[in-house]
Amino acid sequence: MAEEAVFSAVDADSIYRIPLMLHAQNLDEVAVKLLGLDLPAADLSEWQGYIDGYDALHDEVHVAMVGKYVHLTEAYKSLSEALTHAGVHTGSKVKIHYIDSEKLEQDVGDQLQGMDAILVPGGFGERGVEGKIAAVRFAREQGIPYLGICLGMQVAVIEYARNVAGLTDAHSTEFNPDSPNPVIALITEWLNADGKREQRDENSDLGGTMRLGGQECRLEPDSKVRELYGEEVIVERHRHRYEFNNSYLDRIVTAGMKIAGRSIDGRLMEIVEIPDHPWFIACQFHPEFTSRPALWASTLLRLHRGGAQTPGCDSMNLCGFPVGLDQPLFLIAGPCVIESEQLALDTAGQLQEITTALGIPFIYKSSFDKANRSSAGSYRGPGMEQVLKILEQVKSSLGLPLLTDVHEDTPLDEVAAVVDVLQTPAFLCRQTNFIQAVARQGRPVNIKKGQFLAPWDMKNVVDKARAVGNEQIMVCERGVSFGYNNLVSDMRALAVMRETGCPVVFDATHSVQLPGGQGSSSGGQREHVPVLARAAVAAGVSRHSSWRPIPIRSRRSVMVPTPGQLDKLQRLLETLLEIDRTVEAAWFCRAGAAVTAGAES
């Protein structure tokens, strides 16, 4: 055997270090060579990022896992690892306390006092059930964040039925077949993931008739889980036989428990919440089954920061990627206004190439009409109809999510049918009817703060948008007027605006604008764009940053990127990522932002 084919598998404090340790010994290169494969060099930067985050953990979160298999903790291995994944992405070192549910029925307060969160996982059989029910009651009454999984949802329903809905003898037919109030029971018929009808009864084989595998679940629009996932329909893996008994649906809902998710046919109750509790969610599925270091379970991600979360540090799903205090930098980029289809495709393609190489989520931004130009003769764009066709081409050709500005006279429904994110101009941030009309489109909205507005006043603007039921709101800092023809950026505004509970976008390009500084057009100090972008990320605006591309010279102030300018953008983004990782190592609640670099000159 060749000497180069001998590798050392040394002990490590985490299994996640092993791939990096073997990579350092060139195991992957040797394997590829032996197999005669022509492959590019391995890129483990994402994996290294996870380890860096793991090593930087400092906030300790104590989670009580209440079950009956706690003497063999490997029984909860996938769940324990999923909690670790979520902890890395919230900057939290998760300390799991395994609590024996059989010993919990009498001294529940003594064992659970001081816990930051309580989790009841899946399980089968009657043993320890009353201890789990006691744990649920303690979490509900004490306002402690609670997550129930599978059986953890069923005992949550039982506890609520007994102690809130007045069904004191409520139970599950799994544990008491003769229960007079079986709020959990065997469901005999349902549609599987392929739309086929399946049946079972009390005599069916225990394992062969379980509801298994990935199943679709429709989330209620005004629920915590809908905010978590950012999607109407999700797919999660199941493994159970018993369900919420719909005969008790009205009684339970009237008492205050919310049905937050249902099977795609509406017949099976998948998720319950308690709206007046800081963070109480229970689901019939197993989110831990699909958790990965780079793809963590949404419900687990928020468990330890759900009820005790710092105000203004909320998360959301934006165009298919998560955005929040626990998330890395993202980019909003593109020319200020569309000029031609080819230019739009070329610019979007080059930006996509840069961001893909750096692992930065990217949203393409451009406008069809710049209605707030300095003078009547300024170029405003080719108009909505033509630009929407161009944007559709960008989306279909490159698969990129889109953002564009809208105005008071914009047919919002037509634009929302094409683009993924709507942006409101800074000068219109106080216009209640306009803000609410945009929010009603059901798309994420990026609300730009007016140059005249104090950062704390953005809370009122956000409240207007949320009043119509849209929780997918971002707020954008783009500088504040300082005398005539000048803007300044106060980095304190980023911290103030995070109190809105929204991701905070920093528009680095417009922040260096000199409005009307050239008489009939605006001037700018593009050389200071990198300065402000670096400052914003260092101030904690990142974890989800956007940037609209570097200012470009053009007769119409439209971006015409040159290789040199794109190189500058790439180097700047590399610097921002490095700052971002440094800030993450000294974690605090970031403003949640997108640094923007536009095409204003």
Judged by DSSP in three states, 502 sits in coil
CA proximity to 319, closest of 468, 419, 203, 198: 419
pLDDT for 601: 31
CATH class of domain segment(s) 316-597: alpha beta
Distance CA 57, CA 505 (A): 25
pLDDT band at 593 (very low <50, low <70, confident <90, very high): very low
CA proximity to 414, closest of 381, 383, 435, 436: 383
Distance CA 440, CA 277 (A): 27
Long-range contacts of the stretch 566-575 (C-beta < 8 A, 24+): 566/350, 566/351, 566/354, 569/351, 569/354, 569/597, 570/354, 570/357, 570/358, 572/530, 572/533, 573/329, 573/331, 573/354, 573/355, 573/358, 573/360, 573/547, 574/358, 575/530, 575/534
Judged by DSSP in three states, 198 sits in strand
Q: What is the pLDDT of residues 152-195, one digit of tens each?
A: 999 999 999 999 999 999 999 999 989 999 999 987 654 455 55
Catalytic residue, candidates 159, 174, 273, 288: 288
Q: What is the pLDDT of residues 421-469, one digit of tens each?
A: 999 999 899 999 999 999 999 899 999 999 899 999 999 999 999 888 8
Enter the tokens of residue 548.
């609209």
pLDDT for 43: 86
Residue 105 C-beta-side C-alpha neighbours within 13 Å: 7
449 within 8 A of 429, measured Cβ to Cβ? yes
Other Cβ atoms less than 10 A from the Cβ of 10: the count is: 8
Q: What is the DSSP string of 10-79?
A: ---S-GGGHHHHHHHTTHHHHHHHHTT---PPP--HHHHHHHHHHHT--EEEEEEEEES-TTSGGGGHHH
Q: What is the pLDDT of residues 326-377, one digit of tens each?
A: 567 888 988 878 888 898 899 899 999 999 998 888 999 988 776 665 556 6
Q: How far is CA 598 from CA 78, 244, 478, 552, 580, in A?
A: 44, 52, 11, 9, 21
CA proximity to 270, closest of 217, 227, 320: 217
Query: CB under 8 Å to 595, separation ≥6 — which residues?
Result: 329, 331, 505, 506, 507, 508, 533, 536, 537, 541, 542, 545, 546, 547, 576
- Among this protein's residues, is 150 annotated catalytic? yes
Enter the tokens of residue 367.
């406008």
Does domain 58-301 match CATH 3.40.50.880?
A: yes
pLDDT band at 540 (very low <50, low <70, confident <90, very high): low
Distance CA 284, CA 148 (A): 8
Distance CA 289, CA 214 (A): 10
Sketch the domain layout of the chain as residue ranges. 3-42, 58-301, 316-597
Enter the tokens of residue 106.
């009498």
Best mean pLDDT range from 318-332, 500-514, 520-534:
500-514
Question: Burial code of 164-200, b = ≥16 C-beta within 10 A, e = fewer?
Answer: ebebeebbbbbbeeebebbbbbbbeebbeeeeeeeeb
Other Cβ atoms less than 10 A from the Cβ of 408: the count is: 14
- Among this protein's residues, is 286 annotated catalytic? yes
Catalytic residue, candidates 89, 171, 277, 286: 286
| HEC secondary structure over 126-182 | CCCHHHHHHHHHHHHHHCCCEEEECHHHHHHHHHHHHHCCCCCCEEECCCCCCCCEE
pLDDT for 366: 87
The overall pTM is greater than 0.75:
no
Query: CB under 8 Å to 181, separation ≥6 — which residues?
Result: 161, 167, 169, 170, 171, 248
Catalytic residue, candidates 150, 217, 313, 429: 150
pLDDT for 305: 47
Q: What is the pLDDT of residues 376-407, one digit of tens each?
A: 666 566 778 888 999 999 999 999 999 999 98
pLDDT for 379: 57
* pLDDT over 70, % of the chain: 81
